[in-house]
């Protein structure tokens, strides 16, 4: 009642009032509604756009509670800049609803969606022309499929309401994923959906690799002195092997350092390359100037040469990571690049040893 009175007193109706009015109908968004009502400048900067094509990922009361439990402080108490950046990351620069997620290629492959997050601490993916995402703002990856390494079909989940809804997952920074309840709420600037945790802001490549527990890789990159290089690239795709079985990770002499350095270089690609636009047979050139052939198999699994993606589209501040099941085999013979002969020659035996 008080809220309606307050809204009625504020006129003319602006974007932010329209948004607050819309979300206040959802009891599970009462903490978010209170946050925005308490700080009008926050709302103004969050919804400062003439676009009618925004989608706000509204954090549920569960998200507020979880944030407090995990960090020991309430979201209201965090540094205002951090809060604004976080909310900008929750503001998608596109229309996203259950219909768009269920249709066409998006249903198969998920979607990479640009947000309003442009602070360079969290968004240094640069080189738009060398990526396949076309967004100046940092992105989230959204999928209705279950397994992350697979471009699979949607899963039905009846999270709330009588109707069975399509559930979705949002990949954000530091290897985190959040469940999204597709309520398809509307306001005069677009759509909103409900997420059950706050999106984590993206961090750099090697720290993200460590945060998804691939510490062997973090150590290897560090041992060859490439940590700063991987993190300072503006736009990089890191192919992150989850195991190094059979690979010599030692750096006891310059030769070994050189070999390992080349091996790791063969696992990076210029620009953020999300899996959403991958075509079977597509090739990339690695940081070690080797060819990487993409395979999208019949069941939607993605491969880089002979290594399978076990976890796709992990967002970093300077690009993206795809986690592989093993060290990728690669073609070191320039003359054979792009020919299947190369894969026959190289992949058959040498890969396990990780030789260059
Ligand atoms: C309301 O905002 C003020 C600052 O604008 C802050 O100090 C206070 O903690 C906020 N209260 C709640 C309940 O969010
Ligand atoms: C809204 O955006 C305009 C231009 O992008 C900017 O000049 C203005 O300061 C912004 N207003 C708020 C309240 O953030
Ligand atoms: C943007 O919103 C307008 C008005 O709602 C709609 O006509 C248009 O199709 C939308 N564009 C996209 C790309 O979603
Ligand atoms: C959420 O709102 C409830 C009811 O207003 C309040 O008691 C609780 O402290 C809020 N939780 C957080 C984490 O802000
Ligand atoms: C949002 O989309 C508009 C229109 O497509 C574009 O001009 C703008 O640069 C985008 N903003 C961000 C932060 O991505
Ligand atoms: C990393 O390992 C820790 C401790 O074993 C575990 O709690 C955490 O869930 C793991 N994180 C990921 C992203 O797998
Ligand atoms: C990467 O992130 C970590 C943790 O946030 C930070 O300590 C380190 O300085 C960063 N490195 C670069 C090159 O940005
Ligand atoms: C990778 O790390 C694990 C511990 O997380 C360790 O047991 C294993 O030996 C490492 N593998 C290699 C090849 O270094
Ligand atoms: C990469 O390999 C190609 C083909 O052999 C060669 O022409 C090019 O000079 C190499 N580039 C670098 C940077 O080594």
* pLDDT (tens digit per residue) in 244-254: 877 788 899 99
> pTM of the prediction?
0.86
What's the confidence (pLDDT) of residue 86?
95
Distance (angstroms) between ligand 2 centre and the Cα of 42 equals 12
DSSP H or E segment with residue 62:
helix 61-71
Cis ω for the linkage preceding 12 (within 30 of 0):
yes
- Looking at 39-48, 269-278, 293-302, which range is the least confident one? 39-48
pLDDT of amino acid 150: 39
Q: Which CATH number fits domain 52-195: 2.60.40.60, 1.10.1660.10, 3.40.50.300, 2.30.180.10?
A: 2.30.180.10
Nearest ligand, measured from the Cα of 139: 5
* CATH fold match for the domains 52-195 and 205-353: yes
Q: Looking at the chain, which runs of residues are DSSP E strands?
A: 54-59, 91-92, 111-114, 139-143, 156-157, 165-171, 177-187, 190-195, 236-241, 268-270, 283-285, 291-296, 302-304, 307-316, 319-324
Q: What's the confidence (pLDDT) of residue 154? A: 32
Name residues contacting ligand 6 (CB within 6 A).
175, 212-213
The pLDDT score that the predictor gives to residue 278 is 93
Please tell me the predicted confidence (pLDDT) of residue 355. Answer: 36
Ligand 6 centroid from CA 176, angstroms = 11
Q: Which residues neighbour 185 within 8 Å (Cβ) at sequence distance 6 or greater?
A: 22, 23, 26, 58, 191, 192, 193, 194
Pocket test for ligand 3, best of 18, 55, 95, 106 (most atoms within 8 A of CB): 95
How far away, in angstroms, is 300 Cα from ligand 7 center?
34
Q: What angle do CA 226, 228, 234 make, to 5 degrees?
A: 110
Question: Which of 9-13, 185-189, 209-213 comes out lowest in average pLDDT?
Answer: 9-13
- Going by alpha carbons, the residue nearest to atom 8 of ligand 1 is 76
pLDDT tens digit sequence for 68-103:
999 999 999 999 999 999 999 999 999 999 999 988
Residue 322 in 3-state DSSP? Answer: strand
Residue of higher predicted confidence among 233 and 354: 233
Distance (Å) from CA 99 to ligand 5 centroid: 22
How buried is 78 (Cβ within 10 angstroms: 0-12 exposed, 13-18 middle, 19+ buried)? middle
Cβ 62 under 6 angstroms from ligand 4: no
Indicate which residue's Cα is closest to atom 9 of ligand 3: 53
Pocket lining: 354 vs ligand 5, CB cutoff 6 Å = no
Ligand lying closest to the C-alpha of residue 242: 8
pLDDT surpasses 90 at 155: no
The alpha carbon of 46 and the centre of ligand 4 are apart by a number of angstroms equal to: 21
Q: Give the mutation target among 16, 36, 42, 45 for probing the ligand 2 site: most ligand atoms within 8 A of CB.
A: 45
pLDDT at 276 over 50: yes
User: Which ligand 1 atom sits closest to the C-alpha of 38?
Assistant: 1
- Rg over alpha carbons for the chain, rounded to the nearest Å, is 22
Give the number of the ligand closest to the Cα of residue 120.
7
* Overall fold of domain 205-353: FAS1 domain (2.30.180)
Name the residue ranges covered by the structural domains of the chain. Answer: 52-195, 205-353
What spacing in Å lies between the alpha carbon of 289 and ligand 9's midpoint? 6
Ligand 7 atom 3: residue of nearest CA: 207
Q: Give the C-alpha separation, 257 to 235, whole Å.
A: 25
| Lowest model confidence (mean pLDDT) among 10-24, 34-48, 97-111 | 10-24
d(CA 127, CA 236): 10
Instruction: State residue 335's pLDDT score.
Output: 47
- Residue 237 alpha carbon to ligand 7 centre in Å: 17
Nearest ligand, CA of residue 119? 5
């Amino acid at each position: 009642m008080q809220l309606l009175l307050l809204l009625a007193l504020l006129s003319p109706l602006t974007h932010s009032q329209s948004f607050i009015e819309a979300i206040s109908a959802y009891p599970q968004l009462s903490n978010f509604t209170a946050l925005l009502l308490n700080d009008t400048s926050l709302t103004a900067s969050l919804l400062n756009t003439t676009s009618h094509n925004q989608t706000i990922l509204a954090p549920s009361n569960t998200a507020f509670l979880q944030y407090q439990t995990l960090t020991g402080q309430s979201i209201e108490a965090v540094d205002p800049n951090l809060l604004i950046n976080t909310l900008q990351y929750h503001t998608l620069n596109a229309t996203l609803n259950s219909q768009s997620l269920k249709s066409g290629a998006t249903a198969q492959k998920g979607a990479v969606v640009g947000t309003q997050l442009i602070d360079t601490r969290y968004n240094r993916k640069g080189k738009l022309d060398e990526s396949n995402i076309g967004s100046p703002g940092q992105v989230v990856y959204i999928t209705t499929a279950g397994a992350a390494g697979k471009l699979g079909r949607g899963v039905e989940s009846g999270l709330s309401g009588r109707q069975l809804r399509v559930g979705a997952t949002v990949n954000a920074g530091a290897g985190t994923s959040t469940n999204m309840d597709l309520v398809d709420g509307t306001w005069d600037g677009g759509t909103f959906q409900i997420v059950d945790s706050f999106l984590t802001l993206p961090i750099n490549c090697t720290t993200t690799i460590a945060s998804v527990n691939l510490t062997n890789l973090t150590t290897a990159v560090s041992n060859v002195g490439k940590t700063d290089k991987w993190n300072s690239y503006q736009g990089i795709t890191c192919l992150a092997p989850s195991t190094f079985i059979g690979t010599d990770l030692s750096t006891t002499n310059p030769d070994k350092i050189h070999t390992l350095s080349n091996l790791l270089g063969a696992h990076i690609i210029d620009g953020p390359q999300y899996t959403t636009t991958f075509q079977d047979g597509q090739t990339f050139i690695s940081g070690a100037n080797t060819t990487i052939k993409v395979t999208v198999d019949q069941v939607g699994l993605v491969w880089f040469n002979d290594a399978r993606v076990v976890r796709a589209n992990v967002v970093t501040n300077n690009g993206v990571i795809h986690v592989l099941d093993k060290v990728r085999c690669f073609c070191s013979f320039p003359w054979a690049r792009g020919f299947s002969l190369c894969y026959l020659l190289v992949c058959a035996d040498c890969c396990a040893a990780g030789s260059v």
